[in-house]
């Protein structure tokens, strides 16, 4: 399962350990972080924000009932240890490589701002299920939220 999904079990084990079922949840993530980031950084920089939204929604929507991602989020909200691990994985495997690749100043700040929008998109769409975001087509959300991520990754952010 982990191999088929492209996740490196050693990476997951390093960040999540084997307790709380987190390891099992993370192994089911339909996510190959390095491949995802490389894919996002291909193509025009002008569309980067929209591509991030499309890809993020594709990963969540592909998981059965968003089970693995919701398990990670639930664990992070309830256990500081899990929050530490999820933060480390998100930053090191996805957000920092993305922000560095986008080429802007202060990549750590940009990565944190991107986190603030994509984490909230997940919470709004899959947990709180606030309409019309909960059932909007990915393409519509890419148009609405893509410019936010574009600014956080490549433009002036105060």
Among 1-9, 27-35, 60-68, 106-114, the segment contacting a copy of itself (CB under 8 A): 106-114
Residue 67 binding a copy of itself, by CB under 8 A: no
User: What is the SS3 string spanning 75-114?
Assistant: HHHHCHHHHHHHHHHHHHHHHHHHHHHHCCCCHHHHHHHH
CB of 3 to a copy of itself, least distance (A): 28
Residue 55 as a binder of a copy of itself (CB under 8 A): the answer is no
- Of residues 5, 11, 83, 100, which one binds a copy of itself by CB under 8 A? 83
3/49 with CB nearer a copy of itself: 49
Write out the two tokens for 66: 């968003």
> Rule CB under 8 A: is residue 74 a binding residue for a copy of itself?
yes
Q: Which of 20, 32, 54, 87 binds a copy of itself (CB under 8 A)?
A: 87
- Distance CA(153)–CA(151), nearest Å, equals 5
Token duo for residue 4:
């088929």
Cis peptide before 122, with omega less than 30 degrees from 0? no
Report whether 114 contacts 95 (CB < 8 A).
yes
Per-residue binder mask for a copy of itself (CB under 8 A), 119-148, x = binder: xxxxxxx-xxxxxxxx-----x--xxx-xx
Contact assessment for residue 21 and residue 85, using Cβ atoms and an 8 Å cutoff? no
10: three-class secondary structure by DSSP: helix
Q: Which of 91, 92, 101, 138 binds a copy of itself (CB under 8 A)?
A: 91
Binding site for a copy of itself (CB under 8 A): 70, 73-74, 76-78, 83, 86-87, 90-91, 108-109, 111-113, 115-125, 127-134, 140, 143-145, 147-148, 151-152, 157-158
């Amino acid at each position: 399962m982990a191999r088929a999904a492209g996740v490196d079990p050693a990476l997951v084990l390093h960040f999540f350990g084997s307790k709380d079922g987190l390891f099992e949840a993370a192994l089911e993530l339909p996510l190959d972080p390095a491949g995802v980031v490389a894919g996002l950084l291909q193509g025009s920089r002008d569309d980067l924000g929209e591509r991030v939204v499309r890809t993020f929604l594709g990963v969540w929507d592909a998981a059965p009932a968003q089970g693995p991602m919701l398990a990670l989020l639930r664990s992070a909200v309830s256990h500081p240890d899990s929050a530490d691990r999820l933060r480390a994985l998100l930053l090191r495997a996805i957000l920092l490589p993305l922000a560095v690749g986008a080429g802007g100043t202060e990549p750590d700040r940009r990565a944190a701002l991107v986190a603030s929008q994509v984490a909230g998109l997940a919470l709004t769409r899959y947990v709180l299920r606030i309409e019309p975001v909960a059932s909007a087509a990915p393409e519509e959300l890419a148009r609405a939220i893509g410019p936010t991520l574009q600014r956080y990754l490549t433009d002036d952010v105060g």
